[in-house]
């Protein structure tokens, strides 16, 4: 602050105010430090009384428990660190699958609610109200119990043409026998298809070319993957006594969590889609229709791109909510980060360290989503108006 | 719909509006027929299962017959356990009365007629009295009521009190955090911001884990804290961060001129907040506040993870009976419909309030 501002009395009052503010902050700092010191002392004393070790050294100890669902190799003899990595991978897997399905369902239901058709709009509203007004935990438990009680035993699964088997053991689908090769081929084809679609779509679409390219990329990858399987041979799931072997398997825990998270979040996303579309000024509709666009073209070319701008920031927070809600995995026994953490707290009592790890992981995941969605948002708001 | 009473021939206008809504084009007609057929089929299936072939009496043998529908007998048999948890059976009138008192207080508070300066004071006193009555009835220990420890509280009363306590106690903390986040003092601002962002960035379960595993470590050696209060405080600390963001939203709607006007009248910081800022900011966020109440109500179902027997937890307790565990669908439908009715009422109320408030503020 420059000294030339105000008269002498004003400057005096200003100095007094600054002094007061510094004093208050000093006092606040002291209180916080005293609190932290007191807590640290209590924690140390309590840990000693309970003979619990402290520090992160335990991460190198063998975990000693098995995990039902693995994305990479792990056995009970491996370290806690590796167990946490498995848990984090499982959290990421179910969250990403959930984000995709919830977005698709949410957009469909949101558009249903905007429909002129009375019955379709009503169905959309019913979907939103049911999934938004019951706790996610109850939805998860219900889906999980339905899956594990009402589906047939694995010795007599529901079979869809020997391509997919659904039973108490989960969902097993046929996949190309050479899994890694097939994946490589699919990724390369998908990227090529996306690039081609992007180049083509840019020419005749002002916005949304990226979305179309992403769709084309996914479709291309899927076709290539299927074609590879058709040429090279499939690994089909087969009933083998009481077990099902072969193919790729999704456990009932994963399916229930994935479905529950997607249904619950789709209701909120549908509301965002609707709110975004309704927030576009009515003049935009009138202008688009006056230009002779059909209702469908007006939505695709005029309303949707503007609604997207409004919907992306709240969409980002819905994605974060989904990631956080995936922690409910612990109630149905899907081995995500929180349930692995819970198991290890019960084993070695090092709750403080485990909770710090879990929180740090969620905070960084949030940061990643925030940065990614921020980039998407910047891209969308930069699009030509 | 709106056609009723506006036309001399309501029958024709009903048909006209139906045609406009359901049969305005060939595709629309097809969709209508397909959706109506699907709805009728699904509706019949549900009716058949839930009413026609259902067993209403708590008769285990009848429920086990092969072609029976829903077994509401499970609910009829276990409803006291589901609603009141492990509270002693003969004393269950106490949680019933206690819950009725606080729910009645909630309904009274929801009437906008009471939102005046005097009304607010009366409501605050009413809440203190209602909560005191609740805890007295639940806990007992005087006037001839036997003591019932909080470890035996459960079911709906637990869900209700955790929700109300979390909201009531987190509101003042949330206001302070919101003011802290907008403060001039850098240290205070960064502390408040850090707390809010930290809590909002982690799942509720981790906060409940902190409450269960870390609170006992933080207390001086030899002190003990009840599981009920641990979880209640955990919920308050979690909810306070969300409440702070809600209040901050209200603070941001306040035009700057209001602050300048208050300051030029010579009001100090706290006078300004009390007389100018809060009355306007808090009224603006009442609908958002109701939404917070709603999400807390649903969030309390998570306390079953840390071994509390709230509505969800006591249902799982009831399903622990091996004879009845096949009828989990009926049980979950029972509590889901309770959650649904309460949540639906709250969200409709919040929407009604928002419309009303927008009219009041001339928006």
Summarize pLDDT for B65-95 with one digit per residue, the tens.
Answer: 777 777 787 777 778 788 887 877 777 788 8
CB contact under 8 A, B198 and A362: no
Residue of A nearest to B27 (CA): A117
Q: What is the mean pLDDT of residues A179-190?
A: 82
Q: For residues A124 and A181, which has the higher predicted lDDT (pLDDT)?
A: A124
Query: Hey, which residues 311-350 in chain A have their CB within 8 Å of chain B?
Result: 320, 324-325, 327-328, 330-331, 338, 341-342, 345
Q: What is the pLDDT of residue B3?
A: 42
- Closest-approach residue (CA) in chain A for B315: A138
Q: What is the pLDDT of residue A385?
A: 45
B330/chain A closest Cα distance in angstroms: 10
For chain A, the average pLDDT equals 83
Whole-number pLDDT of residue A241: 66
**Cα nearest neighbour of A150 on chain B:** B326
> What is the pLDDT confidence band of residue B6, given thresholds at 50, 70 and 90?
very low
A44 to chain B, any CB pair closer than 8 A? The answer is no
Task: Report pLDDT for A27.
Answer: 92
At A308-348, the pLDDT tens digits run 777 888 888 889 999 999 999 888 888 889 999 988 888 88
| pLDDT above 80: residue B248 | yes
Residue A157 has pLDDT above 90, yes or no: no
Q: Residue A258 — pLDDT band, cuts 50, 70, 90?
A: very high
Q: How far is B269 from chain A (nearest CA, A)?
A: 12
The distance of Cα A75 from the centroid of its chain, to the nearest Å, equals 27
Residues of A in contact with B191 (CB under 8 A): 28, 32
Query: Using 50, 70 and 90 to split pLDDT, how confident is the model at A78?
Result: confident
B21 vs A117: CB contact, 8 Å cut-off? yes
List the 141-180 stretch of A: residues with Cβ below 8 A of B.
Answer: 141-142, 145-146, 149
pLDDT at position B310 over 70: yes
Nearest CA in chain A to B31: A120
Average pLDDT over residues B3-30: 68
Stated as kind and residue range, the H or E segment containing B236 is helix B227-253
Decide if pLDDT at B307 tops 70: yes
Q: Do B340 and A130 touch (CB under 8 A)?
A: yes
Q: Which residue did the predictor score with more confidence, B31 or A37?
A: A37
Residue B7 confidence (pLDDT): 44
Mutation test of the interface with chain B: which of A37, A135, A140, A356, choosing the one with the most B Cβ atoms within 10 A? Answer: A135
Mean per-residue pLDDT, A51-56: 76
pLDDT digits (tens, 9 = 90+) for B219-244: 877 788 888 888 999 999 999 999 99
Cross-chain residue pair A116–B21, CB shorter than 8 Å: yes
Residue B35 above 50 pLDDT? yes
B286-299 vs B227-253: helix crossing angle, rounded to 10: 160
Determine, for residues B210 and A136 on separate chains, whether the beta-carbon distance falls below 8 Å.
no
State which residue of chain B sits closest to A351, comparing Cα positions: B213
What tens digit of pLDDT does each residue of A137-151 get? 999 988 998 888 777
Terminal C-alpha separation, chain A: 42
Distance CA B49, CA B55 (A): 10
Q: What percentage of residues in chain A have a pLDDT greater than 70?
A: 93
Interface contact A111, partner B, CB < 8 A: no
> What pLDDT, on the 0 to 100 scale, is given for residue A105?
92
Compare all CA atoms of chain B with the CA of A322 and give the residue at the minimum distance: B203
Q: Is the pTM of this model over 0.90?
A: no
**Between B104 and A2, the higher pLDDT residue:** B104
Min mean pLDDT across A197-211, A251-265, B3-17, B180-194 is at B3-17
pLDDT score of B5:
43
Picking from B32, B218, B299, the nearest residue to A42 by CB comes out as: B218
Percent of chain A with pLDDT over 90: 18
Any B CB within 8 A of A21 CB: yes
Is the confidence at residue B61, as pLDDT, over 80? no
What is the predicted pLDDT for the residue at B95? Answer: 82
- Quick check: A95 pLDDT over 60? yes
What residues contact B144, with CB distance under 8 A and at least 6 apart? none
CB atoms A363 and B202 under 8 Å = yes
Residue B361's pLDDT band, with cuts at 50, 70 and 90, is low
Burial A260-273 (b: 16+ CB within 10 A, else e): bbbbbbbbbbbbbb
Closest CB from A137, A342, A355 relative to B302: A137
- B21 to chain A: which residues are within 8 Å by CB? 116-118
Q: Where does chain A have alpha helices with state H?
A: 8-50, 80-114, 118-132, 136-145, 179-204, 209-232, 252-279, 282-290, 295-298, 304-325, 329-332, 337-348, 351-382
Distance CA A69, CA B116 (A): 57
Q: What is the 3-state secondary structure (H, E, C) of A285-343?
A: HHHHHHCCCCHHHHHHHHHHHHHHHHHHHHHHHHHHHHHHHHHHHHHHCCCCHHHHHHH
The pLDDT confidence band at residue B174, using thresholds 50, 70 and 90, is very high
Interface mutation vs chain A, best among B176, B326, B332, B354, most A CBs within 10 Å: B332
pLDDT of residue B11: 59
* Of residues B202, B214, B305, nearest to A351 (C-beta): B214
- CB within 8 Å: B205 and A328: yes
Cβ contacts of B185 on chain A, cutoff 8 Å: 21, 24-25, 28
Are B339 and A138 an interchain contact pair (Cβ–Cβ within 8 Å)? yes
List Cα–Cα distances, B34 to A117, B27, B30, B41, in angstroms: 13, 11, 6, 11
Q: Say how many CB pairs under 8 Å bridge A and B.
A: 142
Among residues A51, A145, A370, which one has the least CA distance to residue B333? A145
User: Quick one: closest CA in B to A136, which residue?
Assistant: B298
Predicted confidence band of residue B4 (pLDDT cuts 50, 70, 90): very low
Q: What is the mean pLDDT of residues A282-308?
A: 83
- List chain A residues with CB under 8 Å of B217: 42-43, 46-47, 351-352
How confident is the model over B131-167, as pLDDT tens digits?
888 888 888 777 777 777 777 787 888 898 899 989 8
Mean pLDDT of A229-258: 77
- pLDDT at residue number A43: 83
Partner residue facing B214 (CB), from A24, A142, A352 = A352
Contacts of B87 (CB under 8 A, 6+ apart): B94, B95, B148, B152, B153, B154, B155, B157
pLDDT band at residue A301 under the 50/70/90 scheme:
confident
For residue A149, the chain B residues in CB contact (below 8 A) are 326, 328
**A14 lies within 8 A of chain B by CB:** no
Task: Show residues of chain B in contact with A268, CB under 8 Å.
Answer: none
pLDDT confidence band for B317 (50 / 70 / 90): confident
Element (H, E) at A158: strand A158-160
Nearest CA of chain A to the CA of B134: how many Å? 25
Which residues on chain B are in Cβ contact (under 8 Å) with A146? 329
Q: What is the mean pLDDT of residues A90-112?
A: 90
């Amino acid at each position: 602050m420059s000294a030339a501002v105000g008269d002498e009395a004003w400057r005096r009052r200003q100095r007094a105010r600054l002094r007061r503010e510094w004093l208050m902050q000093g006092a606040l700092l002291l209180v916080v430090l005293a609190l932290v010191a007191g807590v640290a002392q209590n924690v140390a004393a309590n840990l000693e009384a309970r003979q619990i070790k402290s520090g992160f050294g335990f991460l190198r100890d063998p975990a000693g428990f098995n995990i039902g669902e693995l994305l990479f190799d792990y056995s009970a003899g491996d370290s806690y660190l590796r167990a946490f990595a498995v848990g984090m991978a499982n959290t990421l897997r179910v969250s990403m699958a959930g984000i995709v399905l919830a977005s698709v369902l949410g957009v469909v239901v949101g558009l249903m609610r905007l429909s002129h058709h009375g019955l379709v709009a009503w169905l959309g509203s019913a979907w939103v109200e049911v999934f938004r007004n019951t706790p996610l935990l109850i939805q998860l438990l219900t889906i999980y119990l339905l899956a594990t009680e009402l589906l047939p035993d694995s010795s007599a699964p529901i079979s869809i043409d020997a391509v997919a088997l659904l039973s108490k053991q989960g969902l097993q689908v046929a996949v190309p026998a050479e899994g890694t090769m097939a994946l490589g081929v699919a990724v390369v084809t998908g990227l090529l298809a996306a690039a081609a679609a992007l180049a083509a779509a840019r020419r005749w679409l002002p916005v949304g070319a990226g979305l179309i390219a992403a769709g084309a990329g996914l479709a291309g990858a899927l076709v290539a993957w299927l074609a590879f399987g058709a040429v090279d041979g499939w690994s089909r799931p087969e009933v083998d006594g009481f077990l099902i072997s072969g193919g790729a398997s999704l456990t009932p825990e994963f399916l229930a969590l994935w479905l529950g998270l997607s249904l619950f979040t789709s209701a909120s996303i549908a509301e965002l889609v609707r709110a975004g579309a309704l927030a576009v000024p009515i003049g935009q509709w009138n202008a688009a229709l006056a230009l002779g666009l059909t209702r469908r073209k007006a939505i695709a070319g005029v309303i949707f791109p503007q609604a997207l701008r409004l919907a992306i920031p709240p969409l980002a927070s819905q994605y974060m909510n989904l990631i956080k809600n995936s922690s409910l995995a612990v109630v149905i026994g899907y081995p995500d980060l929180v349930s692995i953490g819970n198991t290890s707290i019960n084993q070695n009592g090092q709750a403080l360290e485990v909770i710090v790890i879990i929180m740090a992981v969620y905070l960084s995941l949030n940061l990643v989503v925030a940065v990614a969605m921020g980039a998407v948002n910047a891209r969308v708001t930069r699009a030509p108006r | 719909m709106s056609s009723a009473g506006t036309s001399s021939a309501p029958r024709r206008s009903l048909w006209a509006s139906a045609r406009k809504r359901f049969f305005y084009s060939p595709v629309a007609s097809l969709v209508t027929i397909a959706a109506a057929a699907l709805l009728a089929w699904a509706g019949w299936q549900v009716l058949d299962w839930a009413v026609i072939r259902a067993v209403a009496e708590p008769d285990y043998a009848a429920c086990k017959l092969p072609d029976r529908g829903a077994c509401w007998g499970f609910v009829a048999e276990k409803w006291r356990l589901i609603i009141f948890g492990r509270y002693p059976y003969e004393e269950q009138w106490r949680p019933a009365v206690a819950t009725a008192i606080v729910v009645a207080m909630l309904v009274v508070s929801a009437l906008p007629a009471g939102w005046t300066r005097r009304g607010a004071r009366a409501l605050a006193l009413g809440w203190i009295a209602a909560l005191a009555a609740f805890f007295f009835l639940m806990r007992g220990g005087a006037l001839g009521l036997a003591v019932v420890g909080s470890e035996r509280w459960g079911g709906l009363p637990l869900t209700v009190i955790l929700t109300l306590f979390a909201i009531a106690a987190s509101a003042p903390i949330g206001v302070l955090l919101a003011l802290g986040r907008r403060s001039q003092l850098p240290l205070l601002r960064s502390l408040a911001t850090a707390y809010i962002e930290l809590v909002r960035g982690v799942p509720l379960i981790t906060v409940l884990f902190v409450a269960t595993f870390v609170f006992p470590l933080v207390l001086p050696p030899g002190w003990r804290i009840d599981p009920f209060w641990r979880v209640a405080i955990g919920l308050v600390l979690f909810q306070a961060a969300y409440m702070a963001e809600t209040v901050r939203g209200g603070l941001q709607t306040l035009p700057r001129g209001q602050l300048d006007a208050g300051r030029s009248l010579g009001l100090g910081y706290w006078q300004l907040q009390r007389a100018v800022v809060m009355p306007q900011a808090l009224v603006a966020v009442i609908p958002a506040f109701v939404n917070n109440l709603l999400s807390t109500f649903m969030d309390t179902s998570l306390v079953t993870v840390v071994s509390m027997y709230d509505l969800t937890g006591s249902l799982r307790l009831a399903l622990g009976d091996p004879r009845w565990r096949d009828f989990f669908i009926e049980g979950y439908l029972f509590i889901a419909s309770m959650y649904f009715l309460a949540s639906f009422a709250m969200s409709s109320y919040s929407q009604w309030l928002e419309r009303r408030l927008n009219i009041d503020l001339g928006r």
